[in-house]
Amino acid sequence: MASFERPSLNVNMRTWVAMGFCAACLFVLALRLWHLQIINGHVFRDRSENNRLRMVYVPPPRGLILDRNGEVLVRNRPSFNVDFVTEDSPNPEQTVRALAEITGQPADDLLEKLTRQGKRRMYEPKLLLRDVSRDLVAKIAAQRYRLPGVIVSVVPARDYIHGDLAAHAIGYIREISGEQLKNPLYAGYRMGDVIGQYGIEARYERYLQGERGSQAVIVNAAGNKIGEAYSHLALPGSDVLLTIDRRLQEVADRALTGKKGAVVAMDPNTGDILAMAAAPRFAPSIFTTEVSKETWADLVDAKGNKLTNRVTQGVYPPGSVFKIFVAAAALSEGVVTPHERFFCPGYTLFGTRKFRCHKHSGHCSVDLFEAIVQSCDVYFYTVGQRLGVDRIYQYAHDLFEFGEPTGLGIGDESSGLIPSTAWKAKYFRNPEDKKWYPGETLPVSIGQGAITTTPLQIVRGLSAVVNGGVVVKPRIVRKVVTSDGRLLEETPATPEVVRKLDLDPEILDKLKRSMVGVVEDKRGTGHRAALPEVHGISVGGKTGTAQVASRESGIKDEDHAWFAGYAPADNPKIVVAALVENGGHGGAEAAPIAQDVLAAFFGIPDPPPEEAAPRKKKPTPVVEASDD
C-alpha cells in the first residue's frame, strides 16, 4: 500500500519578515482609519460641511430709543459691511491689498485689523470695513474676481434721526474692545460685535442688544453664496422710552449753538429729566463707521471736550445761585431773620482785606428779599461769617446732597465739592494749609472759592426748594418694552425720594418769593428769564456769575454765566438750569436760554424778531454785575 507524506513549506526568514511587515502595515492602516473615522470623524465632517456650508451669524436689530411721547429718536437702517474669509483666499495678503486699492483704504491698516481679530473658527468671516457706501459695494462686486474670500454682508446700523440731538444723553455704539470681551459683563459677545459705549446706549445695552441669529449658507468652491440651508432668526432688542421731550430738547440744544455749556430741565415733582443738553456736541453717527485719528483728536481735544457731558460731568463754581441754599441754612439756623437789614457800601472788610460786592457802588441797606433779588454779595458775606463753613457744608451736603452724584446712571458722574474744615484737614499736606481760615468762608458763601457743583445737582437742589422740601432722584428712562409689546421695566409713578428736608415750609416759601422777585422785581437780575405777561405764567429763579481763572495761565478768565429757575411760581412743573462757560453775566447770557426752554415747555411761540431783539443788548452794570 502506497504511503503519502504531508508536504512541508520551506519558508525562509526573508519571507517571514515580509509577511510581518505587511501585517504591520495593514494594522497601522486600520488603526489610522479607525482614528480618522471614529475619533476625528466629526472634525473632518465639519470641514467637509464648511467647504459647502458656512455658518454666518446675523447681528440683531438694536432696540429703538424714543422720547417721552413715543417719538422715535434712534432707529436702525440697513448698512453694508465688508468681511473676509481667509481660508477662501490662496493669498490673503494679496487679496487684502487688492481690496485696499479698490476702496482707497491704507493696506497696512486693513492688514493690521485682520491680524488684530486673532484666531477664529475656520471659514468664519473677519470684519474689514463697516458701513460702506453703495458705490463702494458696486466697485467690490465689479472686481470680485480679484477678491477671493471677500464678502459683503447686509447688517443693521444705528440711525440717529435727529443728528446730534441729546447726543450726550443717548450716547453712541462702537465695536467691542478686547478688554471688554474679557469682562464677565460681556459674556456671550464676540469680536466684531457693536455695543453701547456711552449714555443710554451703554447703560441699557443688555436690553437694546437683542439676540443674534445664525444662517447656514451654501457656497461654491470660490466661497460665493449659492443658496441657503437653514437659519435661526435674530431677535430684535427691546425699546427704551426716555423721559426727555424731543421738542424741549431741540430748543435746549439750539440755545447752546456756538457756546460751551449745559442746559438741563427736570420735573421737580417726579425727577423726570425733560431735556439734557451739553455743548459742544458730537454726532453719534460718526461711530457707526471707522473713526479717523483726526476725528478722534477733535472729539477729545481739551478745549472742546465734546465727549464730556457737562450736565453730569462738568464741575463749576455755582456763583450766586448757591446763595439760595446759604439763605436756607441761615434762616433755619436762626443766624439771620428775613427782615434783618445789612448795609452794603460795595465791599466788606475782613481784617485788612476788602471783599467786594459785584456792585461796587453798593446796594445800601438790604434785607433777605432784596439781597437775593439784587444778588448782594456783602449781605451773604455777613451771613456766611455767622454760619461758618461747617454749617454751610451741613446744609449743602447733608441736606441738599451737593457734593454727591445724583445717581442718574447714564455714565460716570462728577461729585463736585462742598468744602469744610474736615475736608481741608484731610486733603492738604502742609500743616499751615490744613487749617481753615475764617476769611475762606466768605467766597464760599457766594458760591466761589473751593466749591464746585454740576448743573444737574443745581437742578436737584432747586427742585427740593420749590417742591416742598423733597430731594428726588433724577431719572431719564420711563420704561423698557420688548419689540412685541411686553413690559420689561417701568419707572414707578411715584418718585424715588432721596431725602425729605427738615426745613420750615415758611422758609421755603420766603425763598420762592425771593426768586420770583429776581425775575419780576424791577431791581431783579433775572428779567430775561420772564415769560410774556399775556400768558400769566410767573417765573422764579436765581442768576449767577462765577469767576474763574484760566487753567493755562492762572489769570482771571471770562466769568461763567448761570441761571436756575422754575415755573409756574405757584405750582412748579419744571426746573431749568442753564450754564454758559465763560459767557459773562448770568442774567444776560444764561437767563434767556432758560426762558427759551420754559417758553417751549408751556407752548409759548417765539416772539417776533422786533420783540426778541432787545435780548441781544448788553446789560447795564447796575442790574447785571460781575457776580450775580
Catalytic residues: 320
Q: How many C-beta atoms surround the C-beta of residue 115 within 10 A?
A: 9
Give the torsion sign (CA, 197, 198, 203, 208).
negative
- If you search the block for the grid coordinates 459742544, which residue do you land on? 280
Joined grid coordinates for residue 542: 436765581
Backbone angles phi, psi at 409, to 5 degrees: 85, 25
**DSSP annotation of 211:** B
Q: How far apart are CA 477 and CA 196, in angstroms?
A: 16
Q: What secondary structure does DSSP assign to 317-373, as a single string? A: --GGGGHHHHHHHHHHHTSS-TT--EEESSEEEETTEEEE-SSTT--EEE-HHHHHH
Of 544, 530, 516, give the one whose Cα is nearest residue 614. Answer: 530
Which is it for strands 239-242 and 65-66: parallel, antiparallel or unpaired? parallel
d(C-alpha 446, C-alpha 344), whole Å: 15
Q: Strand, coil or helix: what is 100?
A: helix
For residue 561, count other CB atoms closer than 10 A to its CB.
28
Residues 250 and 261: beta-carbon distance below 8 Å: no
Instruction: Give me Rg for the CA atoms of the chain.
Output: 35
CA distance 195 to 193: 6
Contact 207, 65 (CB under 8 A): no
Cα distance between residue 240 and residue 218, in whole Å = 37
Cell of 239: 425699546
Phi, psi of 361 (to 5 degrees): -80, -10
Picking from 570, 539, 517, the residue whose alpha carbon sits closest to that of residue 369 is 517
Dihedral sign computed on CA atoms, order 419, 422, 424, 426: negative
Q: Is 422 exposed, middle or buried (0-12, 13-18, 19+ CB in 10 A)?
A: exposed
DSSP 8-state secondary structure symbol assigned to residue 475: B
Question: What one-character DSSP code corresponds to residue 561?
Answer: E
